[in-house]
Amino acid sequence: MKAIEDAVRSDAPATRVVVVEDDQASADVLQRRLQANGMVVSVAHDGRRGIELVEELLPDLVLLDVMLPDTDGYDVCLRIKSNTTTSPIPVIFLSARGEVVDKVRGLSCGAADYITKPFQAAELLARIDAVLGQARNPRVPRLGRPIDRAPGERLVARVAIADAALREHVEQLLVSRFDLADETPDVVIVEGNAAIPAEVPEDVAVIRVSAGRTGNDGNEVIPVDAQLPRIVDLLVRERSLDHDLQAAAEALIVLASAIGSHDRPGAGHGERVASRAVQIGRALGLDESTRMTIRLGSLLRDVGNARLPGAILSKSGELSPEERTTLERHPILGEEILSGFKRLSGLLPIVRHHHERLDGTGYPDGLRAEQIPLEVRIVTVADRFEALLADRADRPAVSEAEAVRILQSAVARGELDAAVVAALATQVRTGGSR
């Protein structure tokens, strides 16, 4: 615990290193040497503790001994590299085992380097620098196709740069694509780390530029050259699109939440499903954009209930066959409602198909296996899991472990995607928080 506290207390942007070394004396020497070079070091003396530290601290680097009391370094390295959260963290093996097969085995497990003991401190530091340098590729603004804009749709840019020559240069570059004005800008251009003018509202895009080399201090700084107008245009457009999507989705989510208050599993179920589905998506390595689709799709999956009779939604007993048939139309009705929102077209498969099953016994279309997109399968599993955790009129809530067991039975029957349920089971087993 002390190791975590030491690391968390440090606010400085120093390199954080976890050392996994069973020999106390060696660990002390290594820790002092790294600290003397400005690094924040946390030490574990066995593999289990080492993995805990790495998962807690998400360090910049792991230095790993091969021979450990409870397991070996290869096992620790494989566990680090198999976790989507920790896999980008570079690992360097430090070992007295210097045979070629040992090095090959270490590097094949995903290590960035393998250093044999005894080593020279200068060599160790040089290799650490090299590995960290590779791991810290500076972010480069993505380039896209130029956006053709009608004359009436020009954005307003405010160039808030103190240096007169640079300001004039930037304005010359932007004037062909933007209206330049200080009032109600869509985007504000500032130089490097300069302060943003106080009167600029928070929701206005701010883009930092530099006449020299791009910086690497955490802020994305764009060079002032012929590409500047295109990049600024792209970034503002992306931001605008995100805002539009959010706004449209938020309005609908308010509606869906209001409907959800009548929903059988109870209030707040939609938000819990969305949170759980996003977690599963992250565990399966889905990108942020897909996770956003999953989140919004989860929240809006039952929006079609708005067109169903309230008596069916609020009925606590068993539904008649006719009522069941009516209820099972809600995915189609939801799709009809959302199809009017062009920006939400990516959510439609989740809304329409979240009650489909891999074996083709679901509704409304009886899709089978590969016909059901992964995002949909994730929402389906999250929905069923969270429903099991809630009390209902016809049965009491079950524990998380029991809910996983019930879903695994559904996998065995061919209803749910085994890999999605496995990701959920791993979360539950390791106590993954929302």
Partner 1 sequence: MTTSAPAHETDAERRHEHRFQVSESIARLVMRTTANNLPLSRDDRPYQWSTTTYCDTVAWSIFRAAQKGSAMQLRIREYHRTRPREVLNPGTAWIEFKDDEQDTSLKERFGVSMDVARSFLRGEAALPEQDHGLAERAAGLLRDGARPVAVTQYNRLAYNSLDSSLRITADHNLMYFALPWETRNDGDSEPSPLGSLLAMEPDVIVEMKWYGELPHWAVDLHAYLKESTREERPSKFIVAMRWLLGETDGTKKTKKK
Q: Which positions lie near partner 1, rule CB under 8 A?
A: 71-72, 74-75, 78-79, 81-83, 87, 101, 104-105, 107-110, 283-285, 358-359, 368-374, 377, 404-405, 408, 411-412, 414, 417-423, 425-426
Q: How far apart are the C-alpha atoms of 156 and 317, rounded to whole Å?
A: 58
Q: How far apart are the C-alpha atoms of 110 and 91, rounded to whole Å?
A: 8
Sign of CA dihedral 63, 66, 67, 68: positive
Q: How far apart are the C-alpha atoms of 70 and 113, rounded to whole Å?
A: 23
Question: What's the order of all strands across the beta sheet hosting 113-116?
Answer: 40-44, 16-20, 61-65, 91-95, 113-116
CB of 392 to partner 1, least distance (A): 24
Residue 308's H or E segment, with its range, is: none
Please say which residue, 143 or 406, places its beta carbon nearer to partner 1: 406
Q: How far apart are the C-alpha atoms of 418 and 423, rounded to whole Å?
A: 9
What tokens does 292 get?
A: 């956003």
Please say which residue, 192 or 373, places its beta carbon nearer to partner 1: 373
CB of 106 to partner 1, least distance (A): 9
Q: What are the CA-CA distances from residue 217 to residues 13, 40, 55, 92, 124 (Å)?
A: 10, 19, 25, 25, 25
CB of 131 to partner 1, least distance (A): 15
CB of 211 to partner 1, least distance (A): 40
Please say which residue, 308 or 372, places its beta carbon nearer to partner 1: 372
Q: How far apart are the C-alpha atoms of 30 and 387, rounded to whole Å?
A: 51
Please say which residue, 26 or 71, places its beta carbon nearer to partner 1: 71
Coil vs helix vs strand at 241: helix
What tokens does 207 get?
A: 């883009």
Please say which residue, 93 or 178, places its beta carbon nearer to partner 1: 93
Q: What are the CA-CA distances from residue 85 to residues 58, 88, 112 (Å)?
A: 8, 7, 17
Please say which residue, 248 or 422, places its beta carbon nearer to partner 1: 422
CB of 340 to partner 1, least distance (A): 27
CB of 353 to partner 1, least distance (A): 12
Q: What are the CA-CA distances from residue 123 to residues 116, 232, 341 (Å)?
A: 11, 43, 59
Please say which residue, 337 or 403, places its beta carbon nearer to partner 1: 403
CB of 75 to partner 1, least distance (A): 7
Cβ-contact 190, 179 below 8 angstroms: no
Please say which residue, 302 or 415, places its beta carbon nearer to partner 1: 415
Q: CA angle at residue 125 from 120 to 128, to 5 degrees? A: 125
CB of 423 to partner 1, least distance (A): 4
Please say which residue, 21 or 102, places its beta carbon nearer to partner 1: 102
What are the backbone dihedrals phi and psi of residue 200, each rounded to the nearest 5 degrees, phi first? -75, 125
CB of 406 to partner 1, least distance (A): 10
